[in-house]
């Protein structure tokens, strides 16, 4: 179903109302790398920011880098906190203008909701239909080698904690069982309160234990990717990889973190996660981590 930002930009939303954006008339000659997935999060775009502000320059730099790839990724996921603080209309209008080059290039772009987003305002600006699951934005992206499940962990705007809720967990369980033929990777903005740094657990996903009972029992679930923390580290819980991916916007502690994005290269038995940073000389830049999927 079409999402109209303006008369000059058209976006598509489908699969249960999820915010799935693709160029309406993608170039038929554009090549796609089916094994490459780009992960961004915490863009925090604000209407009043200067175009030369670091937050906007960082997102622009990331988009330019993606567009310079010899083949476009099979999916670009921006994993929550699209808006600066509380999801103002102007924030989403500015955000849409910044991601427009990806749209024009025919790059499949997928968005999730974070705690600094406002679902109703986002829906109104992008004309996105809400899904049948308590107005949340959920999506299944079927790629040749993996299935990507995009979840909506927004409990309420400006509430730090996340929540999936019973209806969404039922939806996820059903879809996971129906698509058990390929590895499943899950994306949500909030970190689970499991397998990571306990200092961040209070602000994470409230129903983490309920979620993990579902995931651990389904051996085709391989990884959970999140943002929210504005840092980078990788963990495992019950052999499921947990990837905390860096923000594009800003960090809390410049001594330990920097901004950037993540590229997932699928391999026969897992993936290679490469961090790219806006700070060229940072220790994280071009840092690769091999992820081996758990076996059934």
Q: Looking at residue 134, what is its pLDDT?
A: 74
194-234 confidence digits (pLDDT tens):
999 999 999 999 999 999 999 999 999 999 999 999 999 99
pLDDT at 29: 56
- The pLDDT tens digits for 81-135 are 999 999 999 999 999 999 999 989 999 999 999 999 999 999 988 776 656 577 7
Location of structure tokens 């179903």: 1
Report the Cα 223 to chain-centroid distance in Å. 13
What confidence tier does 252 reach under pLDDT thresholds 50, 70, 90? confident
Structure tokens at 266: 């699928």
What is the reported pLDDT for 22?
A: 36
Q: Per-residue pLDDT for 5 more than 90?
A: no
Q: List Cβ neighbours of 145 (8 Å cut-off, separation of 6 or more).
A: 34, 35, 182, 183, 266
CA 268, 245, 165, 124 dihedral sign is negative
Tell which residue, 70, 98, 76, 94, has the closest CA to residue 84. Answer: 94
User: What pLDDT shows up at residue 167?
Assistant: 95
Q: Which CATH number fits domain 2-292: 3.60.21.10, 3.90.180.10, 3.30.1330.10, 3.40.50.170?
A: 3.60.21.10
Please state, for a pLDDT cut of 70, what percent of the chain lies above it: 88
Mean pLDDT of the chain: 89
- Residues 10-38 have a mean pLDDT of 55
Which contacts qualify for 135-139: CB closer than 8 Å, 24 or more apart?
136/165, 136/167, 136/168, 137/16, 137/17, 137/18, 137/19, 137/111, 137/112, 137/113, 138/15, 138/16, 138/17, 138/18, 138/168, 138/171, 138/172, 139/15, 139/16, 139/18, 139/19, 139/20, 139/110
> What is the number of helices (H) and of strands (E) in the chain?
5, 15
Break the chain into its structural domains and give their ranges. 2-292
* pLDDT class of 23 with cuts at 50, 70, 90: very low
pLDDT in tens, 153-180: 999 999 999 999 999 999 999 999 999 9
Do 195 and 211 contact (CB within 8 A), yes or no? no
Task: Give per-residue pLDDT as tens, 142-153.
Answer: 999 999 999 999
The mean pLDDT of 51-75, rounded to a whole number, is 97
Residue 26 has pLDDT above 60, yes or no: no
């Amino acid at each position: 179903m079409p999402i109209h930002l303006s008369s000059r930009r058209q976006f598509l939303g489908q699969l249960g109302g999820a915010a799935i954006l693709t160029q309406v008339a993608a170039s038929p000659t554009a090549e796609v790398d089916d094994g490459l997935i780009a992960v961004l999060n915490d863009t925090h775009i604000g209407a009043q920011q200067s175009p030369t502000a670091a937050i906007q320059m960082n997102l622009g730099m990331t988009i330019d880098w993606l567009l310079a790839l010899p083949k476009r990724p099979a999916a670009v996921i921006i994993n929550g906190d699209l808006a600066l603080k509380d999801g103002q209309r102007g924030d989403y209008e500015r955000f849409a203008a910044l991601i427009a080059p990806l749209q024009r290039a025919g790059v499949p772009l997928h968005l999730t909701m974070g705690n600094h987003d406002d679902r109703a305002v986002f829906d109104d600006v992008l004309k996105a239909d809400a899904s049948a699951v308590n107005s949340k934005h959920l999506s299944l992206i079927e790629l040749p080698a993996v299935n990507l499940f995009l979840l909506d962990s927004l409990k309420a705007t400006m509430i730090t904690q996340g929540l999936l809720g019973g209806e969404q967990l039922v939806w996820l369980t059903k879809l996971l069982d129906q698509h058990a033929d390929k590895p499943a990777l899950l994306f949500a903005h909030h970190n689970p309160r499991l397998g990571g740094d306990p200092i961040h657990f209070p602000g994470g996903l409230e129903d983490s234990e309920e979620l993990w009972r579902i995931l651990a029992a389904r051996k085709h679930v391989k990884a959970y990717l999140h943002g929210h923390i504005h840092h980078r580290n990788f963990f495992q819980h019950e052999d499921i990889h947990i990837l905390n991916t860096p923000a594009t916007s800003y960090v809390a502690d410049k001594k330990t973190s920097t901004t950037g994005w993540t590229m997932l290269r699928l391999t026969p038995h897992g993936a290679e996660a490469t961090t790219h940073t806006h700070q060229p000389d940072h220790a994280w830049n071009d840092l690769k981590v091999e992820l081996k999927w758990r076996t059934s």
